[in-house]
Structure 1
């Protein structure tokens, strides 16, 4: 009987000690999830907006190009194509919020050309410094030499619009 009581007490103590982790220990055990690849459309207060999610960049966030070269937050620019990873889930606000674990900047030729077209579209559509856009999709139509960029203004989430950009000159051809 005494042996059963001792076993119970030891089990109880082990359970209590095991559940008393610090928040930093818990944070390192949270799963890392891949966010949705997209284009940076806003940089504000160590946050980057990619599609409908703001990723908070902290001193623990790894920022690299696709070749493994380390970058910093100050190297990021609007229009860059990136792949984000986050830790701790996404807060379901609008825009959604997550803590960036890693940001991979895509530097291949296709991503660079898309970046130029996206940047031209955002600059053309921005009538005020405070205007924020979300790039939903970028589609290249090589036979027509254009990019169709589906965008949405954060202040009007009811509808999206297409900005057509010429693929050689980054000239805005039309908006529909």
Structure 2
């Protein structure tokens, strides 16, 4: 195997033992953004759920209302606010210029999804991201809010007191 110059030196498609190993390729190709046979809306939904769920904790624990009774609600609202800002950024990226560019196949990603890299696909991705992000933050808020109730149910012998 000989090394030859590439046609476009800005592409950066150099296969290394790290980015072309079986584990790396399997891991990256299993992510929702590259998983085959998913619609752009479903890709956005899965990625948004993860972001909303993970953003809730830092806002609730480290936010300015962390020592008040409203810390969990403030974390929920801050997470939804940031997900909304990120969705606006996705929308701006998708509509600016010619829209998102199709990523060519490289040493790591075998078959990037072409339907995502259109203005319509990117718009569906953004709407799924917003819905999933708000749902993920709400699910995290519910888990934190329901934890004391679950603890009381365990103390009461499996039956929560009715008030």
User: So what's the TM-score if we normalise by structure 2?
Assistant: 0.20
If each structure's strand is expressed as a fraction of its own residues, which one has the higher value?
A: 1
If each structure's helix is expressed as a fraction of its own residues, which one has the higher value?
A: 2
Looking at both structures, which has the greater relative contact order when contacts are Cα pairs under 8 Å and sequence separation is at least 6? 2
Report which of the two structures shows the higher radius of gyration computed on alpha carbons: 1
